[in-house]
Structure 1
């Protein structure tokens, strides 16, 4: 159960109601701070709609962060979003297997992105070897966008966990299909 009440458009000033254009629980909690919610939306919008990073790789990096953080909200939401950007069921199973050190059929750049996401999520950042390997696959703009994406979603999973944001019922089937491990 969330630590703060979820707000609806009617609870907000008219000038802030646009913040709930997507009426998801994360946004319904973040709007307690309209300025903070607006700032979060700006970077999230850039990552999803303006970055030149390959969208499938972006979503795989986000899923990797959600998996290692054991974030039901992030994991379920980005399985659904990932499907819209070319992530397949085979990719999702490969993320799980790659994390566990099992062999996968993923292409080398996808494995590298997953490794970078795990290293950044574990902190303090990607290793020198991983960063240099990324440089061989990405120009500087895409490399920075990848790091921004992974880092942003590391922050998002901490928000979700701290505020205890509930997974909406329509996202539960994704958790049932690909449950997070119980540690």
Structure 2
């Protein structure tokens, strides 16, 4: 059970927002995360807009975005986030062996057999941002060379955003079931 009950999605005052969120979800179904966010319509509206941009409008390659999201999920013990994004990583041409390697994100950062240079640098960035917040200069510089400034900002924003997601999910004990 979550720490706060899920919002009643049949409330007419939030019907338009519920519809907007359904449209963003490829399945058209609300997740329990959505049902929790709907307690605060302004917060849910902003969250929906930000994550719609992260998921659909960035130049960072999709598999890199999903890789860092999965790494954040593992680092923060956010099973809900993992359940939602591991299939997305596989759909974006990631491999099951790569997902399995994320059981030890630190080791994955240096695994040249499973991860290419872009993936390893993205994982190192994720590890530092998630564990220390402050990222070592050499990692930022390497990421800047590999991704360019726009993609680096997008990657950092994705990592920061999904750290927020995982913390929200874990603190509220939101379960992965939905409609």
In the superposition, the TM-score normalised over structure 1's length comes to 0.85
Judge conservation of contact 1:67–1:75 (CA < 8 Å) in 2. Answer: yes
CA distance in structure 1 between the aligned counterparts of 2:162 and 2:32, rounded to whole angstroms: 16
Correspondences of 1:9-24 after superposition (within 5 Å): 9-13=9-13, 14-21=15-22, 22-24=29-31
Match of 1:23, SS state, is coil
Report what 1:4 is aligned to: 4
The reply on whether 1:47 has 2:48 as its aligned counterpart is no
For residues 154-179 of structure 1, give each alpha carbon's deviation from its aligned partner in whole angstroms, at most 9, with x where no partner exists.
11111111111012289xxxxxxxxx
Counterpart contact for 1:6–1:25, Cα < 8 Å: yes
Give, in whole Å, the separation in 2 of the partners of 1:103 and 1:58: 18
Aligned counterpart in structure 1 of residue 148 of structure 2, from 128, 139, 156:
139
Does 2:49 correspond to 1:60?
Answer: no
Contact 1:66 1:157 in 2 (8 A): yes
Alpha-carbon distance between aligned partners in 2 of 1:165 and 1:19, rounded to the nearest angstrom: 21
CA RMSD across the alignment: 1.9
Partners of 1:8 and 1:20 within 8 A in 2: no
Counterpart among 78, 83, 87 of residue 80 in structure 1:
87
How far off its partner does 1:3 sit? 1.3
Counterpart of 2:41 in structure 1 is 34
Specify whether residues 76 and 112 from structure 1 end up closer, same or farther in structure 2 by C-alpha distance, changes over 3 A only.
Answer: same
Distance 1:26 1:109, change over 3 A: same
Structure 1 residues 103 and 87: alpha-carbon distance in aligned structure 2, compared to 1, 3 A threshold = closer
Paired with 2:135 and 2:104, the residues of 1 have a C-alpha distance of 20
The verdict on how the C-alpha distance between 1:168 and 1:99 changes in structure 2, with shifts beyond 3 A counting, is farther
Unaligned stretches of 5+ in structure 1? 171-183
